[in-house]
A and B are shown apart, each in its own frame.
Chain A
Amino acid sequence: MVVGLVGSRDPGKRRRTLAATKLGKGAAWLSRTAGLGEGGIIGGRVAMALDRDVLSGLAAGRTVVLVTGTNGKTTTTSMVARALSAAGPVASNSTGANMPDGHVAALMARPDARYAVLEVDEMHLDVAAEQTRPAAILLLNLSRDQIDRVGEVRTVAARLRQVVVDNPQAVVVANADDPMVVFAAEPARRAVWVSVGGGRWTGDAASCPKCGERIDVSVERWACSCGLRRPEPAWSVHGQTVVTDGGRELELQLNLPGQVNYGNAALAMATVAQLGVVPEAALPRIREVSEVAGRYGDLVIGGRKVRLLLAKNPAGWHEMLQLVRTSGRPVMLVVNAREADGFDLSWLWDVPFEQLAGAQVVVAGERAADMAVRLRYARVDVTMNPDPVEAVRLAPPGDLDVIANYTAFRMLRVKGEA
């Protein structure tokens, strides 16, 4: 094995990759210099325009992990990358640029890295896997996300299943509690099942992805009459404890809040264990993750200190509402409905906002009125102003918890001061 030499064995292909990479880097430099942005994505796009296969060239010779699912992609990718750094240098698209141009940019930035951990949009896993031939694929969870754009959950599950079939070289690390994920990962030649513990959204899994019949997902060992059932997990989370495939019990003690992140940490540990990083080496590194691309981070908006939380779909909102309910702080909810968010806000009615009853809630964002109506019918006391900086002044005194959906979150990161 050639160690430290990353790239294709085909000299012609290596030359093309190199040329495309050089020009892409030039474009990235120009973009940064012109003050247009961080330059990563534009560099990736230029390199791809020059060489269609640049991603496969850049991935050749590296051990690649692909991370996908509806929620927790960015956070879990960051955990896997951090943990895998115990084995060697890691390239990763840590800012959440999860389309092919983002992958190219991430690999271009770290030509030295033996390992690559890439967050992948669910609808782009096929392309990413074909080009990078991953050693491991991590499947987190599948629920409704921007349904008018991405398509029905079952369609996504079927696509991921095909990727699993087409990549027999990859070990598939998958959430055993999610019927959609189990359906996708089931054909894997080698699967590592992880039970992620409680507190998960099950609203989209009630009807079986394989046959459409009802599955009772409230029981731990769910099973459908068609034969699809929860596999026996090799790893599992109980409260804050993870039980490894070797039967060892480790206290997670994460810096990130929320039950959902215990499951993400267990999935990350199971993944790097397949690549030779033992749980005892992985966990301290995973604990270092405290803020991921601004999520869970503190900001100052309109003179008020806020903790900024991202929620992109019913499952994410469900998780974040649990978090703010326990914090007891005043709450602001910020909602947009741009293309990246999905134009349809019907899902607001699937989220149990009733649990905010009794709290004084402020709503903002381009679609504040939709949220206000939802809360009004949930009998939650609500005040609204589309401008978050104005809206924040309507909140009761004290530090705030702010939950925002995708483009609203990005807007707040620009408006707020770190």
Chain B
Amino acid sequence: MSGTPRTSAVRIALVLPDMLGTYGDRGNVAVLAERLRLRGIDSEVVEINAGEFVPADCDLYMIGGGEDVAQLVAVRHLRQQGTLVAAAERGAVVLAICAGMQILGTSFVGSDGVVHGGLGLLDVSTRPMPKRAIGELVVRPDPAFGSELLTGFENHGGCTYLGQDARPLGAVLSGVGNGVNAVEGAVQGRVIGTYLHGPCLARNPQFADRLLSMVTGTELAPLSIPEVDALRAERLRAVGIR
């Protein structure tokens, strides 16, 4: 999928925003589509609500965070349909946030206190954490996801253990992240999970562009949006970095 620039529109799927979209996660799709538009690349956003079919032919899938009950219903829907797993196995890029990352793992503990099987796209398992992690989170990413620090907000009660096949998205500089070994998130092939919740791409343009490059197969020229620079500087300063 690399080398030749694409000519068709990039298809971005927003998966189950009505169940997994509690924290402004849909903002990521708005950011991706606008960053493509500013470079003259067309995109099409496909919003899939519960009860609707997840198409298998999108280029990028975004799954957000959600409340505990919705998480169990969402994993059932996605397993029944099977298309998200098929798309990921075909090589589509998947960005899964917070509860979205948990259900893409091999197992997680639901609001019922029971261990549930996940979709198995990420070799991670999630168990309850003694104290909920809430606050600013700063991560030094794996170089594959850019040189800029990742900044965001986390709000989760899950401790996520990485298995052999997954590697972390980055190292925690401030905040909690996965709650194990001071690392954050999970990467396995083209599936990426993170506890940087909600609209995390709004604060992390380099990360957003890395995801887009994975889809388009081309390096994208940086964009200058001064408000984004101001926001990043302010948020990093707020936790005493730089």
Contact = CB atoms under 8 A, between A and B. Distances in A.
Interface string A140-157: 000010011000111000
B31 to A, nearest CB: 6
B231 A346 contact: no
Given A346-B153, A377-B34, A206 B18 contact: yes
A378 B202 CA distance: 12
A147 B73 CA distance: 21
Interface stretch (A124-132, A282-290, A347-355): A347-355
B51 to A, nearest CB: 6
A153 B70 CA distance: 12
A369 B227 contact: yes
Contact of A349 (B18, B24, B134, B230): B24
B86 interface: no
A212 B30 contact: no
B31 A207 contact: no
Nearest to B33: A377
B19 interface: yes
Interface in B13-32: 18-19, 21-27, 30-31
A152 B24 contact: no
B49 interface: yes
A204 B70 CA distance: 11
A207 B231 contact: no
Contact of B67 (A153, A347, A369, A377): A153
Contact of B202 (A207, A349, A379): A349
Contact of A370 (B25, B67, B225, B231): B231
Nearest to A155: B67
A200 interface: no
Contacts of B153: 343-346
Contact of B155 (A147, A212, A374): A147
Interface string A351-395: 000000000000000000110111011110010100000000000
B228 A376 contact: yes
Interface of B: 18-19, 21-27, 30-31, 34, 49-51, 66-70, 72-73, 134-135, 153, 155, 197-199, 202-203, 225, 227-228, 230-231, 234
24 contacts: A147-B23, A152-B22, A153-B67, A204-B22, A206-B19, A207-B66, A207-B67, A214-B51, A344-B198, A345-B153, A346-B25, A346-B197, A346-B199, A347-B24, A349-B199, A350-B21, A350-B27, A372-B227, A372-B231, A376-B225, A376-B228, A377-B27, A377-B202, A382-B227
